Amino acid sequence: MGRVAGKTAVVTGGAMGMGAATVRRLVGEGANVVIADVNVAEAEALAAELGPTAVVEKLDVRSPQQWTDLVQRTEERFGSVDILVNNAGIVDPAPLEQWDVAQLQRVLDVNLIGVFNGIQAVTPAMKRAGGGSIVNLGSVAAFIGIIQMAGYVASKWAVRGLTKTAALELGTYGIRVNAVHPGQINTPMTRGATFETSSVALGRVGEPDDVARTGALPRQRRRAVRHRQRRGRRWRADRRPGRLPGHTPVGSGVDPPRASGGDGLWPGKQQPDLLDVLRHREEIEAP
C-alpha cells in the first residue's frame, strides 16, 4: 500500500514540469490527485495517462473564488482535502530599470498571492479532515538575489516567510506547512536557459522528479514528527501536534537547519527523502 493511499491531494501547476512529476509520484503512492492548472489540455493528457485517480480542475491561482469552488468540488468528489502542493509559478526576467508595477504585480499575483489563496482555501477543509500537509514550492532565490529577476526573487522570499508564518498558525490543528527550495531544474519554464553546474554537489541540473521525491509525499500523521526541544544536545520526537509550553509548535520551521547533500543530517544520502523532510520539520534545498 502506498504511503498516501486514500488521501486526496491538490497540485497547482500540475500539468507540466515539477507539478506533473509530483502528480505522478502521488498517484503512484495511492493518492487521489486533483491536477489544478490553467493549461487544461496538458492536464487532461496527464490524467488520461495516470487513470481514474487523477482528475483535472481548471484553476487560476490568483482567484480566491476559483479556489473556494475547487476545494468544495474536491471534498464532494473524494471526501477530504489532505495535501496541497503549491507549485504554480511564473518567471518574467528583465533588467530592474525596465520593470514596471504591472509586471511586478503579475509575478507576485501568481507566485505569492496564489500560494496565499491556496493556503487559505484548504485550511478549513484540512481542519475538518483532522489535519493535513501543505508544501510550497519556493526557490533558492528565496535566499539570494538574482540579476534581472527582481519580481521572481521578491515573490520567493515572501513565500518563504509566508510558509514559516502559516506553519506557526496551523501546526496546532495538525496541519504541517513546509517549503521546498529547488535550484536549477530542467522544466518547460527554464527551457532555453544556460545552467551553471560547477558548484552543484551532484554535478548536474536537477530534474522534476528530484523535486517530487523531496516534496510530494507527506509523512503520515500517526508517526512521530520532530519537535525541537533542548535536552542537552538531543532532539526529542513528540507525537502530539501543536504547542508545548515554552516551545515552538510542530511544523513551525523556526530557525531550521537547511538540509543539503552531505551535511551530516542524513548520513549516506545524497539528498533527503521526503519522509525525512517532514520528520525533521525543515525547509529543504533541492539540488
Nearest to 272 by CA among 215, 208, 205: 215
φ/ψ of residue 283, rounded to 5: -80, 140
Provide the 8-state DSSP code for 33: E
Q: Which residues of 228-260 are buried (b: 16+ CB within 10 A; e: fewer)?
A: beeeeeeeeebeebeeeeeebbbbbbeebeebb
Pairing of strands 83-86, 234-238: unpaired
* First-to-last C-alpha distance (Å) of the chain: 29
Options 152, 176, 227, 276, the catalytic residue: 152
Q: Say if residue 109 is exposed, middle or buried (CB neighbours under 10 Å; 0-12, 13-18, 19+).
A: middle
Residues in CB range of 220: below 8 A, 6 or more apart? 3, 4
What is the distance between the alpha carbons of residues 185 and 181, in angstroms, rounded to a whole number? Answer: 11
Beta strands in 7-149 (DSSP E): 8-12, 32-37, 54-58, 83-86, 132-137
Residue 152 among the catalytic residues: yes
Return the bridge partners of 213, or none: none
Let me know: does 116 contact 50? Beta carbons within 8 Å: no
What is the distance between the alpha carbons of residues 124 and 131, in angstroms, rounded to a whole number? Answer: 10
- List residues with catalytic annotation: 152
